[in-house]
């Protein structure tokens, strides 16, 4: 065991990716224990060896310095042979949501939308959307607003989470038809009933897909074009998109799990809620922009006060309804879960904000500790296992 720890310790100072930075800062230079961070090496390699996961990447930044960036295992069965690299490409699913949210807030800063605007101002079909209660349909007391979509209090849901009368209606409609446009998919959502009155409960949902369509209507650009010109291009997130070019096929990480997106498929539907592919490098850039108050390497996407608004709890007394992904220790801002307390099931600081993706990708940003962590796997059945583990490993390594 001592030999393995020593090897892990030395490996911390070996940079393996050409993507995000040119070197690794020694962890102890920013108050992190190299030996304790090295426990991730040991544990993740053991999980690769015993087949729990095929591969994983982890990146840790503190005080603006990249101090840990590792890849373990392979890209999975059916992928290009060889070891996983730290700049390989993953399906990030719901880690698309914060990026879409940034797009909406950019339009808000430009005065093109207001948080209090009803969504029907931009998508008229939502003027007819009804609330379902005990099989009956009622007009909502208040319209769905942009703010409701941002904080998942719209009454819209995901049909595959939970078992309710509204979710049963969702399951009758093919919302995932690969041949439909974003406008057609959102039109189907507008025709489905709401599970709650807008503003009454937090329900994780297709709300961010609706926001993606709002971006298209307001900007006059398809969502992929808007992302590229306004967010991804300016930040240099060159490996983040709704599909992967054929020449980059060897970098795709394949899941040991059926039914996930094909990254090589060029989609007609651009899901702002879950359609993007990305790398740990690119998500470090995005997260750095957020932690830096909306600016990255001189390019400002958002005002500092806008980032502060996005990353503070916007729910207040509103709590989860029929399906709770937040638990008592988290609220929700605009696009991110927000930690409400230093205490909780897994380590963390009050005010840190985070989200994850269906296939196992996960990130969090801790302003109090000036920490950014990005973790990537492609195994949905393991995502709940690793999120608290990664948190505990990183926070345990903080020494000052």
Domain boundary among the residues 184, 219, 254 is at 219
Domain boundary among the residues 186, 219, 252 is at 219
Look at residue 159 in the predicted model and tell me its pLDDT.
Answer: 95
Task: List the domain range (segments joined by +) for residue 65.
Answer: 2-99+221-396
Residues 192 and 287 in one domain: no
Provide the pairing of β-strand 277-278 with 330-332.
unpaired
Q: Are 102 and 335 in contact (CB under 8 A)?
A: yes
Q: Which of 117, 282, 121, 269 is nearest to 206 (CA)?
A: 269
> What's the pLDDT tens digit per position in 59-75?
999 999 999 999 999 99
What's the CA gap between 122 and 113, in Å, rounded?
Answer: 9
Q: How buried is residue 19: exposed, middle or buried, by Cβ count under 10 Å (0-12/13-18/19+)? A: buried
Q: Given pLDDT bands bounded at 50, 70 and 90, which one contains residue 367?
A: very high
What's the CA gap between 261 and 265, in Å, rounded?
Answer: 8
Residues 83 and 44 in one domain: yes
Average pLDDT over residues 178-203: 97
Residues 291 and 371 in one domain: yes
In a domain, 227, yes or no: yes
Q: Which two tokens stand for residue 260?
A: 């996930």
Give the CATH number of the domain where residue 271 resides: 3.40.710.10
Look at residue 20 in the predicted model and tell me its pLDDT.
Answer: 54
Least confident stretch, 159-168, 208-217, 361-370: 159-168
In a domain, 316, yes or no: yes
Residues 235 and 352 in one domain: yes
Contacts of 386 (CB under 8 A, 6+ apart): 56, 360, 362, 375, 377
> What's the pLDDT tens digit per position in 202-226?
999 999 999 999 999 999 999 999 9
In a domain, 53, yes or no: yes
Residues 11 and 143 in one domain: no
Contacts of 73 (CB under 8 A, 6+ apart): 48, 53, 54, 55, 56, 83, 84
Residue 270 has pLDDT above 80, yes or no: yes
Number of folded domains in the chain? Answer: 2
Residues 93 and 121 in one domain: no
Instruction: Give strand pairing partners of 56.
Output: 72
Q: Which two tokens stand for residue 242?
A: 């709704």
Domain boundary among the residues 219, 250, 277 is at 219
Residues 206 and 87 in one domain: no
Q: Are 199 and 266 in contact (CB under 8 A)?
A: no
What's the CA gap between 143 and 157, in Å, rounded?
Answer: 16
| Pairs from 382-386 (Cβ < 8 Å, separation ≥ 24) | 382/52, 382/53, 383/356, 383/357, 383/358, 383/359, 386/56, 386/360, 386/362
Look at residue 14 in the predicted model and tell me its pLDDT.
Answer: 32
Average pLDDT over residues 80-106: 98
- Torsion sign, CA atoms 277, 349, 206, 255: positive
Residues in the chain: 400
Neighbours of 123 (CB within 10 A): 21
In a domain, 104, yes or no: no
Residues 375 and 239 in one domain: yes
């Amino acid at each position: 065991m001592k030999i393995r720890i020593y090897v892990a310790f030395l490996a911390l100072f070996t940079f393996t990716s050409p993507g995000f930075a040119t070197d690794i800062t020694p962890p102890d230079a920013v108050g992190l224990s190299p030996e304790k961070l090295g426990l991730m090496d040991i544990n993740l390699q053991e999980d690769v060896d015993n087949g729990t996961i095929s591969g994983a990447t982890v990146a840790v930044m503190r005080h603006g310095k990249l101090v840990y960036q590792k890849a373990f295992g392979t890209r999975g069965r059916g992928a290009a042979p060889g070891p996983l690299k730290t700049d390989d490409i993953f399906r990030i699913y719901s880690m698309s949501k914060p990026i879409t949210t940034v797009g909406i807030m950019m339009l808000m800063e430009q005065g093109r939308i207001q948080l209090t605007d009803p969504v029907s101002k931009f998508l008229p079909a939502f003027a007819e959307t009804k609330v379902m209660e005990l099989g009956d349909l009622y007009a909502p007391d208040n319209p769905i607003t942009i703010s409701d979509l941002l904080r998942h209090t719209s009454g819209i849901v995901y049909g595959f989470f939970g078992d309710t009368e509204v979710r049963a209606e969702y399951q009758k409609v093919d919302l995932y038809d690969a041949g439909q446009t974003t406008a057609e998919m959102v039109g189907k959502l507008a025709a489905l009933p709401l599970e709650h009155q807008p503003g009454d409960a937090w329900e994780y949902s297709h709300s961010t897909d609706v926001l993606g369509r709002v971006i298209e209507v307001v900007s006059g650009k398809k969502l992929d074009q808007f992302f590229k010109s306004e967010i991804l291009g300016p930040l240099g997130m060159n490996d983040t998109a709704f599909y992967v070019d054929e020449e980059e096929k060897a970098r795709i990480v394949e899941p040991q799990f059926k039914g996930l997106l094909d990254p090589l498929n060029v989609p007609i539907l651009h899901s702002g809620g879950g359609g993007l592919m990305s790398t740990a490098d690119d998500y470090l850039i995005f997260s750095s922009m957020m932690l830096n108050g909306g600016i990255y390497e001189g390019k400002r996407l958002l005002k500092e006060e806008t980032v502060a608004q996005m990353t503070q709890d916007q729910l207040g007394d509103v709590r989860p309804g029929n399906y709770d992904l937040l638990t008592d220790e988290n609220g929700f801002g605009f696009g991110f879960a927000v930690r409400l307390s230093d205490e909780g099931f897994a380590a963390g600081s009050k005010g840190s904000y985070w989200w994850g993706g269906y296939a196992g990708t996960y990130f969090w940003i801790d302003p109090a500790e000036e920490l950014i962590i990005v973790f990537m796997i492609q195994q949905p059945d393991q995502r709940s296992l690793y999120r608290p583990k990664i948190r505990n490993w990183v926070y345990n390594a903080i020494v000052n």
